[in-house]
Amino acid sequence: MAIYVDADACPVKQEVVRVAERHNLIVYMVANSLMRLPQSHLVKRILVSDGFDAADKWILENAKKGDLVITSDIPLAADCIKHQACVITPTGHQFDEQNIGNARAMRDLNGYLRETGAILDQKRSFSKLDRSSFLQKMEEVLQRLKRV
């Protein structure tokens, strides 16, 4: 079991490493730019090219059944689910076979609405509650994966 983080825009890198150390799991921080990462012998920095979806492709090629992927990227999440990896977002939402279709449809609909000007792109800020939800869900998923 390993943890794969779509690290370029991930706000919970520190938290991932803290939980991974408790479970003694390798964390692959995958990004297309250099960034400051938490110090740990369990963290493996994977620097990919800046090509389109290069980090996503690397994660998809390496994550497998029983691994945990942390991403907000819905297409990547859908592909990882097909490969039987578990997927959670930095806000603690878990994607699975039952909800990924709806997530993709909402993503596409919101993209269309933004393009037509029907809605404005308003990103909400990352909150303490989001961080707490993430930590709780990550621990829950890792415990479940260990039992399997």
Is residue 123 predicted with pLDDT exceeding 80?
no
**Is 119 domain-assigned?**
no
**Is 10 domain-assigned?**
yes
Encode pLDDT of 77-87 as tens digits: 999 999 999 99
Kindly report the average pLDDT of the chain as a whole number.
Answer: 93
The domain tally of the chain equals 1
Report pLDDT for 117.
82
- Cβ neighbours of residue 7 under 8 Å, at least 6 residues apart? 13, 29, 30, 31, 35, 37, 55
Encode pLDDT of 10-31 as tens digits: 999 999 999 999 999 999 999 9
Report pLDDT for 23.
97
Report pLDDT for 116.
86
Report pLDDT for 51.
84
What pTM did the predictor assign? 0.91
**Is 16 domain-assigned?**
yes
The arithmetic mean of pLDDT across residues 97-109, rounded, is 88
Is residue 120 predicted with pLDDT exceeding 80?
no
Largest CA-CA distance found in the chain, in angstroms, rounded: 48
Distance CA 118, CA 10 (A): 28
CATH of the domain at 83: 3.40.50
- pLDDT bin (cut points 50, 70, 90) of residue 118 is confident
Provide the domain limits for residue 14: 3-96+127-147
Q: Tell me the residue type at 83.
A: H
